[in-house]
């Protein structure tokens, strides 16, 4: 079973236990400690089998809309069992879900009364609602979105 871990002490304990059990890959104490310390502040997924943590994966945000796997470890006795693939797929699923939620949240924010004052609306030739609004920082940056009538985002650009 793959779970997302939120507790920082639990993240540190899991990453330390797994990484110290993998000296062939994480043999340098300074580098291993850096992975452990950094994992506390990242999205953290753990593979659990019979109440024992057997692997983990951390996602590091590298940009506004991008994440990457910063560290991943699976106990040696569970290698070649698909644990790493399951961890990766769960992390990917979560990242996609969060992106969709952020897009929906952004669309709702544009529709609020405060944003309406800052937005210019128009319908294009295909009856799509175009929204353009000037962002506060930097002052010359323009943000545009195109919505279909069913309120799904078609294009988001900066």
pLDDT digits (tens, 9 = 90+) for 52-78: 999 999 999 888 778 889 999 999 999
Q: Which residue has the tokens 């890959």?
A: 25
pLDDT grade, residue 107 (50/70/90)? low
DSSP class per residue in 80-112: TTTHHHHHHHHHHHHHHHHHHHHHHHHHHHHTS
- Interatomic CA distance for residues 46 and 4, integer angstroms: 6
Whole-number average pLDDT of the chain: 77
- Interatomic CA distance for residues 30 and 32, integer angstroms: 5
Report the helix count and the strand count for the chain, using DSSP H and E: 4, 8
Distance of CA 10 to the CA centre of its chain: 19
Give the DSSP H or E segment for 21. Answer: none
Q: What is the pTM of this model?
A: 0.66
The dihedral built from the CA positions of residue 88, 92, 94 and 98, taken in this order, carries a sign that is positive
Q: Which residue has the tokens 């940056």?
A: 141
Task: Look at 3-12, 16-25, 148-157 and tell me which has the smallest mean pLDDT.
Answer: 148-157
Q: Which residue has the tokens 């009364």?
A: 113
From start to end of 10-96, where are the E strands? 43-49, 52-63, 66-74
Phi, psi dihedral angles at 138 (to 5 degrees): -70, 155
Task: Kindly state the average pLDDT of the residues 11-30.
Answer: 95
Residue pair 46/55 in contact (Cβ under 8 Å)? The answer is yes
């Amino acid at each position: 079973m793959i779970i997302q871990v939120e507790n920082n002490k639990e993240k540190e304990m899991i990453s330390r236990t797994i990484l110290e059990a993998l000296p062939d890959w994480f043999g340098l104490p300074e580098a291993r400690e850096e992975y452990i310390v950094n994992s506390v502040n990242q999205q953290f997924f753990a593979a659990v089998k019979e109440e024992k943590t057997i692997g983990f994966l951390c996602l590091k945000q590298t940009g506004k809309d991008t994440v990457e796997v910063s560290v991943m470890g699976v106990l040696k006795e569970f290698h070649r069992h698909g644990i790493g693939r399951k961890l990766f797929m769960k992390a990917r699923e979560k990242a996609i879900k969060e992106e969709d939620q952020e897009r929906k949240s952004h669309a709702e924010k544009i529709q609020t009364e405060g944003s309406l004052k800052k937005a210019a609306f128009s319908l294009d030739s295909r009856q799509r609602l175009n929204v353009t609004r000037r962002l506060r920082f930097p002052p010359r940056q323009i943000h545009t979105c195109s919505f279909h009538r069913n309120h799904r985002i078609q294009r988001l650009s900066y």
